[in-house]
Amino acid sequence: MDVFFETLRIMVEGMAGIFLAISLFFIVIKLMIRVFPEKNC
Amino acid sequence: MDQLLYGIKALNPSQVIMFLTGGVLIYLAIKKEYEPMLLLPIGFGAILANIPYSSAISHDGFLALLFKAGILTELFPVLIFIAVGAMIDFTPLLQQPFMLFFGAAAQFGIFFTMAMAALFGFDLKEAASIGIIGAADGPTSIYVATKFARHLLAPISVAAYSYMSLVPIIQPPVIRLLTTPAERRIHMRPEFNIKISKTVQILFPIVITIIAGIIAPISVALVGSLMFGNLIRVSGVLDRLSKAAQNELANLVTLLLGITIGSTMTAEQFLNPATLLIIAMGLVAFIFDTAGGVIFAKILNLFLKNKINPMVGAAGISAFPMSARVIQKMAQQEDPSNFVLMQAVGANVAGQLGSIIAGGLILTLVK
């Protein structure tokens, strides 16, 4: 059961990590689109 | 005479079963066209590996050499990622970056399956390798399994590629179970009038590599190779290299990867109860990936004014572009005037990113 509880910890940290990374990607994409709009290129 | 018969004398029933298993994979590849580029070489590799005293997998056999050079070094998955990166057009995702979150939610099956595998008695590293089948991404599964559970590489790879090809069969019932017809008929506001500048397209792979690398340094090989391939594609000055990555590199490495994975399917490693469990849990992973994406979209709909078609959430798995096509087909079955393909493609491309990040995080978190 120790391994099972360890997987639950990894599940929480893993999903949190994925959402953190994805949130950063989201912010960066939004920023890049604002800073470098199509018309300026 | 003995020299002519020593192969026949050494043949045992489990090897014959493996010939049949290889034959089934070849049949599925040719007759059903399930991931033929991989299942056919895997099937033939399995046959080569199970011939008694096979020189192909002896110490200096060509498959043994390919295994050492391409799998143990993780070179093949990384090269495949360069090719995949050169093939992917991230524009639908850049036009609707919100779809990124479905690429995150639909990785839930990885962690759920990992927990299930632990309950079935696998140790932590084995459980993590089994869970990563849910990345719906062959190279990531191979990469993680090579690092954590090399002895399970064959069943994990076969499960990953088989279920990827079975997405049109696996996803629809799960989606129907979790959504109402009214939800499946939701039309989404198109956001494709946004033009993405060349600068953004070029900066995207560089910035993503840096962010992902800082969060999970161990994922740099995976993310970096995918994004390198994409940078070649969008740079506009390496057209020849981009085409070479998409065609020659992809074809050559896929060919070698498939037959090398097949060569690990020896009877003694493959014919055991663990293989059946792994194949079953691969299915669990795909089901819970799909459920994770759909349920996440339904939760978001509680707060959003412009509702999301929850089926799009299911496209957040990495099986590209099959999952997006499945979602569009289902949407049109409910309402022929409903077009969610581009939204689904955005979520599907996000799934590629999400699965690699998930792979990197698993490698980071599992000690």
CB-CB neighbors (< 8 A) of B350 in chain A: 22
| Cα–Cα distance for residue pair B320/B164, rounded to 1 Å | 9
Q: Tell me if B100 and A29 make a contact (CB, 8 A cut-off).
A: yes
**B97–A4: do the CB atoms touch at under 8 Å?**
no
- Any long-range contacts for B120-129 (C-beta under 8 Å, 24+ apart)? B120/B277, B120/B281, B122/A3, B122/B274, B123/A3, B124/A3, B124/A6, B124/A7, B124/B366, B125/B149, B125/B366, B126/B152, B127/A3, B127/A7, B128/A7, B128/A10, B128/B362, B128/B366, B129/B156
The answer to whether B109 and B286 have CB atoms below 8 angstroms apart is: yes
Contacts of B152 (CB under 8 A, 6+ apart): B126, B129, B130, B145, B274, B278
Q: Looking at CA atoms only, how far is residue B323 from chain A in angstroms? A: 20
**A2 to chain B, closest Cα gap in Å:** 9
Closest residue in chain B to residue A1, using alpha carbons only:
B119
Of A7, A18, A28, the CB nearest to B211: A28
Taking each continuous run of H as one helix and of E as one strand, the counts in chain A are: 1, 0
B229: three-class secondary structure by DSSP: helix
Residue to mutate among A2, A5, A7, with most B CBs inside 10 A, is A7
Report domain extents, chain B: 2-366
User: What single-letter amino acid sits at A1?
Assistant: M
pLDDT at position B192: 65
CA closest to B127 among chain A residues: A7
Average confidence score pLDDT of chain B:
90
Among A3, A19, A35, A36, the strongest candidate for a mutation testing the B interface, having the largest count of B CBs within 10 A, is A3
Residue type for position B111: F
Q: What's the confidence (pLDDT) of residue B202?
A: 95
Residues B249-284 have pLDDT tens digits of 999 999 998 899 899 888 988 888 888 899 999 999
d(CA B307, CA B300): 8
DSSP readout, B30-79? HTS-SSHHHHHHHHHHHHHHHSTT-TTSSTT-HHHHHIIIIIIT-HHHHH
Cβ burial of B291 (10 Å; 0-12, 13-18, 19+) is: buried
Q: What is the Cα–Cα distance from B137 to B319, expressed in whole angstroms?
A: 7
What's the pLDDT at A41? 46
Tally of CB atoms within 10 A around A20: 15
Type of residue at B112: F
Among residues A5, A37, A26, the alpha carbon closest in space to that of B211 is found at A26
pLDDT in tens, B2-23: 777 887 888 889 999 999 999 9
Dist. CA B215–CA A7, nearest whole Å: 20
pLDDT, mean of residues A8-19 = 94
Distance from CA of A33 to the nearest CA of B (A): 6
Q: Do B197 and A30 touch (CB under 8 A)?
A: no
Nearest to B327 by CA among B210, B161, B186: B186
pLDDT for B18 equals 93
Q: What is the pLDDT of residues B28-53, one digit of tens each?
A: 999 988 878 888 999 999 999 999 98
Given A14, A20, A41, which is nearest B199 (Cβ)? Answer: A41
What letter represents residue B104's amino acid? A
Cis preceding-peptide flag for B13 (omega within 30 of 0): no
Q: CB B358 to CB A18 under 8 A? A: yes
Judging contacts by C-beta atoms under 8 Å, the chain B residues touching residue A20 are 215
Q: Measure the CA–CA gap between B243 and B235, rounded to whole angstroms.
A: 13
Is residue B257 within a helix (H) or strand (E), and if so which, with residue range? helix B250-262
CB nearest B197 (choices: A4, A30, A41)? A41
Burial status of residue B336 (CB atoms within 10 A of its CB: 0-12, 13-18, 19 or more): exposed
Of B101, B118, B203, the CB nearest to A32: B203
In whole angstroms, give the CA distance from residue B155 to residue B100: 30
Q: Which of A8, A21, A40 sits opposite B357 (nearest CB)?
A: A21
pLDDT digits (tens, 9 = 90+) for B72-102: 888 998 999 999 999 999 998 899 899 999 9
- A34 touches B: beta carbon within 8 Å: no
User: What mean pLDDT comes out for the span B44-63?
Assistant: 91
Q: Which two tokens stand for residue B46?
A: 């399995």
Measured between CA atoms, how close is A18 to chain B, in angstroms?
Answer: 6
The residue in chain B having the minimum alpha-carbon distance to the alpha carbon of residue A41 is: B197
What is the ipTM, given to two decimal places? Answer: 0.91
This prediction has a pTM of 0.87
Answer yes or no: do A22 and B198 touch at CB < 8 A.
no
